[in-house]
Every structure is written in C-alpha cells, then in structure tokens.
C-alpha cells in the first residue's frame, strides 16, 4: 500500500530546488585579508536562509584572534513586539553551557581544589549509581568531562519547567541513577554527568555553582550579560522562544551546569577568544579542554572530543583542528565553532527551534570563507571531494551486513535480494549500492514505492558499511568527511514472559512542561518479529513511526539496546497501588484500558 505522506515528502524534497529562490553563491576567490567580501556574502547568505526557513530570529558574531570582524542580528527577538535581534540579544545556549562548566573545572584543578583523574566518589560519597556490569571501573572527573562515564543522557522528568527543581535533586533517594555502559566504553552525552560536575564544583568551592561560574569565568572574561542562575534578573530578558511559528513557554532547566547558560553572541565570543591567547598565569592549562581526550576509545570511531568540545565533524577542510559545540533547548538553538590553529571563531544563537540546520550551514560557510581570507586556504571543489578516498579507521575490520541493527533511530532491517541489499530506516526503503571507488562502502538510493530507485539530495554523500569494532558487529556511516558508529547488530531477542502481559497502548501519568512542549502523540508496547518493541510516532517527517527494539533482562526490567547516546538505558516495571506502570527516565507510563483508544504519549 502506498504511503502518500512519504510520497508527498519525496516529491517536495526532490523538486524543492526548482521551486525556491536561488541560494547565494560565494565569490570564486577571496583575496588575503578581504574580510569585507566575506561579510558582504554572509550578510546575503544568512538573510536568505533566515527568510527561506522563516526563522523567528538569529544572531551571529565572527572573531579573528581578539577582534570582532562582524556581529549582526537577523529577524526578531520578539516577533509580536517587532523587537529586532542583535549581538546583545539574550538566548538560551543549551549544551554550549558544558564548555564553560568544563573550563571552570580546569580552573579549579589549576587551583589544586580537585584532580581531573580523581574518582568522583571522593567528592560525592553519597552518590549511588546502579550498574548491571561486573567489574565496573571507577568514574573519574575526566570521564564526566568527556561524556565517557557511561551515564544516561538525562533524567527527563522535570528537567525543564517554569520553576524546575535544582540539579542537586539528582541526589534525592527517589531518583534511581543507572549506568548505561562501563566507563571508557563509548561517547554518550549526559546531562546527568555535567550536573554531577556542578555538585563537585559546589563541594570544593563551598559556593553555589552560579557563584563559582561568576568568580572564575564570567567576571575574568567580562561576560556581564551571561548567567547560569534560573533566578537571576537576566533570565527575564531572554528572547522569546518559538516552535513552528508559535510562541513557546519560558521553560528553565534543572541541569544548569549542562544546559543552563543564558548568554549573548558577544559574551560567548569573549569565551572562545580565551583559547586564542595562549597560556597565561591565570589560564595555565586552558588547552587541556580542547585537547583530544578519547583517542583510545575504539567504538568512538572518528568522533573526537575534548572537554565537551567536538574536535572535527564540521565540513571545514585543511584547517587543522576544528572545534565546535551545538546546543538545543525546547525553543532555542546554538553553535560555537572555532579554528584554534588560525584563531578564527563564530558564534550563532537562535530563538527558533527549527534553526539547527541553518546554524550548521552558516557556521561552516563562515569558517570556510574566513579561513580563505586569512590564510588563502580554499576548500576542495566537488571534483576533488569525489576523488578523495575514505580512509579506513585503524579499529575497523570488514564484516557482512546483519539482518537487523538497533540505532538511535530505532530498528533497521537489512535484507539481501540476489546481488542487492535493501534496508529500511524509519519506514523508508533504501537500496544499498556497492561503491566501486571505496571498497567495502555502500551508497544509498531511495527505493521509491519499492521499485523505482531515485537519488534524493538529502542522502547524497552518505555512505555506509558493516564492520567489526571491539568484537561488535556494527554499522558505520560516512557523512561530511567523517565516519560515525550508527548501529549495532541486533541479535535474537529473548522476551521474558512477564513483558508479554504488558503489551498495549500507554500514556504518561506524570506529565510535565517538557512533554507539553513536544508533539509525539502515539505509542505502543508490542510483540513483533519475535521481539519486544516500543513504537511511537514522530511529529516531523510526515508522521514516521519510530520502532525501538527492547531487550528484556527479567520480567521487570528491559533496556533499549545499542551503542551511543540515549541507548542501553533502562525501562522497568513498577507496582504502585496495585497498578503496574512502566518507568523510564523518571516518567511513569500507564497502559490504557481501552485497546483502540489512541494514546497521547508526547515525548
């Protein structure tokens, strides 16, 4: 049966370039120090993207060493009041906050108040983290800083609210923290880990986290328009956040050390310029935060990280180190990126939840053109890119495709038909075509209606390959000149009998403001393909269903199998007043009594 929603989506994507206005093209050549040419183009480029995507507001600032080259706002900080966005507009920065928290921890290590390789139990003896792994090793402060502590991505319940609890509440006995991996296994972003860093900071300084941030980061760098205090007067000045063109609630985070920064592009530029100064008496070890910390972690493949910084992963070639961090909150998006070897940086903040891809494109283009203007280094043309062979990761061993994988986009099926492989991702059928240039890799073609293969622009440049890494059968994806671990082989799923009695439709019993800001409205626990799955509908991509395989450990506990952020986390059965509920990340899910009643699961 034809899914007309998907067909409509493909038609829109395939013909969109012919229906929209032309995207501005950068100059063929930019002379040395011709920064005005860069700014002229970027002004036109950003204006085009903001208008094309109908974004509410965005601010951008570019630095060259200690100088601001360009700063400007586009759109509005408040569309209703027609208040224009600018360099001093205040935004929520999301996970960019972690960069400052990491810098603060490094400063405290310089003061001798803590050691980067100390066991965190030295500072938080009351902390209890449950683990299902034998011989689980020590979690260090460095593990928390690099997101290699094996902790869950979050305790989502009450993580965003109009008046959220403090991050210290993570120590409450009612909250059960369970590790997802042994430390040093794989990069897995964790808000929980950075909140624990906030607790350690408070313990060693004897001050609140926000006071320590002021003393060691904000005040020395003159970041007077920044705050990590939900109760500060600055929080009242935040730009209005938007989602789908509608005004969002003013939600504040519980996990302020991870995602709680409110700031401006001008203030964040002061922070990144710190890394262009070189060592000083006050910042003797600043470079430790931007040093690659995970070279020995096999499952990270080509994902390289410092202390919250990503090293690489942006499409800026021949530039030496490329460091960046993005952030997302319910209604805001952000990105900080820099080329420390050339002392170039860009900061972009937006109050529109759909601005992520635009911010990514602008930050890459800005650094590419600034690099050319400062050094003469140009980006490879399309012909050069196509002729560049993919380097083989030293930890990667060849393998054949598995029949099924589990990933952050759920269940991925692969089948072989004669000499071709077909796969299904989020319900979308693809052909996997052997790449003649890069042996072992496969390109993707969308298999329209199951029998008409067509190229679609949004998958061009993506390649995949099966591989064995660290004795695990995995799926590797190549995108924008980098390789990423995308999926793990899903073996036979043993379903403990207790779970077969729990299948059905569920709704969340303890809803909160975070759920109210999201739009997923359907979901079901079901048995299919001889396994247990949780299926819910995504609010974007024209109603795609996300199928999450589950691996039961007992009649009362199951995990979301896989490798990476948000995976290997626990779902358990709780009995409250005689009712059996599912518990995930602090949320309680109750089964609906009427089998055919669509359930309002909004995650």
Residue 256 lies in a domain: yes
CATH assignment at residue 209:
3.40.710.10
251 and 398 inside one domain: no
What is the model's pLDDT at position 543?
A: 60
Could you say which of 446, 461, 488 is where a domain stops?
Answer: 488
How much is the mean pLDDT over the chain? 89
277 and 392 inside one domain: no
Q: Find all residues with CB under 8 Å of 386, minimum gap 6, and list them.
A: none
Provide the pLDDT confidence category of residue 468 given band limits of 50, 70 and 90. Answer: very high
pLDDT exceeds cutoff 80 at 596: no
Q: How many CB atoms lie within 10 A of CB 389?
A: 9
Contact at 8 Å (CB) between 442 and 434? yes
308 and 448 inside one domain: no
140 and 245 inside one domain: yes
Residue 187 lies in a domain: yes
What is the model's pLDDT at position 383?
A: 73
Could you say which of 312, 346, 375 is where a domain stops?
Answer: 375
CATH assignment at residue 416:
2.40.128
- CA dihedral 360→366→368→373, nearest 10 degrees, is 180
What is the model's pLDDT at position 520?
A: 63
**For residue range 568-591, what is the model confidence (pLDDT) as tens digits?**
999 999 999 889 999 999 999 999
Instruction: Give the closest residue to 310 by CA, choosing from 299, 323, 319, 301.
Output: 323
What is the model's pLDDT at position 19?
A: 44
**CA–CA separation, 207 and 255 (whole Å):** 17
Residue 333 lies in a domain: yes
Structure tokens at 333: 């998006």
Provide the pLDDT confidence category of residue 18 given band limits of 50, 70 and 90. Answer: very low
Only one residue has tokens 């200690």, namely 66
Residue 112 lies in a domain: yes
| Element spanning 256, H or E | helix 256-259
183 and 264 inside one domain: yes
Q: At what angle do helices 97-110 and 191-205 cross, to 10 degrees?
A: 40
Residue 134 lies in a domain: yes
474 and 545 inside one domain: no
336 and 426 inside one domain: no
Residue 563 lies in a domain: yes
CA distances from 421 to 210, 565, 600 (A): 54, 28, 37
Residue 280 lies in a domain: yes
pLDDT exceeds cutoff 70 at 233: yes
Strand pairing category for 442-448 and 452-454: antiparallel
Residue 539: which domain range?
Answer: 497-591
269 and 300 inside one domain: yes
223 and 275 inside one domain: yes
Only one residue has tokens 């501005």, namely 24
**CA–CA separation, 421 and 177 (whole Å):** 41
352 and 395 inside one domain: no
The number of domains in the chain is 3
Residue 35 lies in a domain: no
436 and 554 inside one domain: no
Could you say which of 354, 375, 396 is where a domain stops?
Answer: 375
470 and 501 inside one domain: no
Q: Radius of gyration (Cα) for the chain, nearest Å?
A: 24
């Amino acid at each position: 049966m034809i899914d007309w929603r998907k067909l409509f989506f493909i038609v829109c994507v395939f013909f969109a370039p012919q229906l929209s206005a032309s995207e501005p093209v950068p100059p063929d050549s930019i002379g040395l120090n011709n920064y005005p040419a860069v700014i002229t183009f970027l002004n036109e480029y950003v204006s085009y993207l903001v208008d094309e995507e109908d974004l509410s507001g965005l601010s951008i600032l570019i630095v060259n060493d200690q100088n601001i080259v360009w700063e400007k706002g586009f759109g509005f900080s408040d569309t209703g009041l027609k208040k224009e966005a600018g360099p001093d507009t205040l935004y929520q920065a999301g996970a960019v906050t972690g960069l400052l928290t990491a810098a603060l921890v490094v400063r405290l290590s310089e003061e001798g108040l803590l050691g980067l390789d100390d066991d965190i139990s030295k500072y938080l003896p009351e902390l209890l983290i449950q683990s299902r792994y034998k011989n689980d090793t020590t979690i260090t402060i460095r593990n928390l800083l690099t997101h290699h502590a094996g902790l869950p991505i979050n305790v989502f319940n009450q993580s965003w609210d109009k008046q959220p609890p403090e991050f210290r509440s993570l120590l409450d006995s009612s909250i059960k923290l369970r590790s997802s991996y042994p430390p040093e296994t794989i990069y897995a972003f964790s808000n929980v880990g950075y909140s624990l860093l906030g607790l350690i900071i408070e313990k060693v300084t004897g001050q609140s986290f926000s006071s320590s941030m002021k003393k060691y980061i904000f005040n020395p760098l003159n970041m007077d328009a920044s705050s990590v205090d939900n109760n500060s007067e600055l929080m009242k000045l935040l730009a209005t956040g938007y989602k789908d063109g509608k005004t969002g609630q003013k939600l504040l985070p519980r996990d302020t050390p991870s995602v709680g920064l409110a700031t401006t592009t001008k203030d964040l530029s002061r922070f990144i310029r710190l890394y262009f100064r070189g060592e000083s008496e006050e910042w003797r070890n600043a470079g430790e935060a931007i040093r690659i910390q995970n070279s020995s972690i096999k499952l990270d493949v080509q994902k390289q990280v410092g202390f919250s910084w990503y090293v690489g992963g942006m499409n800026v070639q021949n530039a030496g180190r490329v460091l960046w961090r993005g952030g997302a909150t319910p209604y805001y998006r952000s990105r900080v990126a820099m080329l420390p070897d050339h002392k170039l940086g860009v900061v972009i903040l937006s109050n529109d939840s759909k601005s992520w891809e635009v911010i990514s494109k602008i930050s890459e283009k800005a650094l590419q053109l600034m690099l050319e203007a400062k050094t003469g280094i140009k980006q490879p043309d399309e012909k050069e890119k196509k002729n560049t062979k993919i380097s083989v990761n030293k930890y990667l061993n060849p393998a054949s495709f598995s029949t099924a994988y589990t990933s952050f986009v759920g269940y991925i099926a692969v089948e072989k038909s004669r000499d071709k492989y077909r796969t299904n991702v989020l319900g979308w059928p693809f052909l996997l075509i052997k790449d003649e240039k890069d042996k072992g890799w496969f390109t993707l073609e969308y298999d329209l209606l199951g029998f008409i293969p067509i190229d679609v622009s949004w998958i061009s440049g993506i390649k995949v390959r099966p591989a064995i890494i660290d004795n695990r059968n995995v799926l590797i994806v190549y995108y924008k000149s980098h390789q990423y671990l995308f999926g793990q082989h899903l073996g036979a799923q043993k379903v403990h009998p207790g779970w077969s009695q729990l299948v059905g439709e569920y709704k969340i019993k303890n809803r909160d403001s975070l759920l109210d800001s999201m739009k997923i409205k359907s979901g079901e626990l079901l048995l299919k393909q001889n396994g247990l799955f949780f299926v819910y509908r995504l609010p974007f991509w024209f109603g795609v269903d996300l199928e999450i395989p589950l691996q039961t450990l007992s009649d009362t506990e199951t995990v979301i199998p896989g490798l990476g952020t948000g995976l290997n986390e626990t779902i358990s059965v709780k009995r409250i007043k005689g009712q059996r509920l599912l518990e995930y990340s602090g949320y309680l899910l109750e089964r609906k009594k009427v089998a055919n009643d669509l359930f309002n699961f909004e995650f």
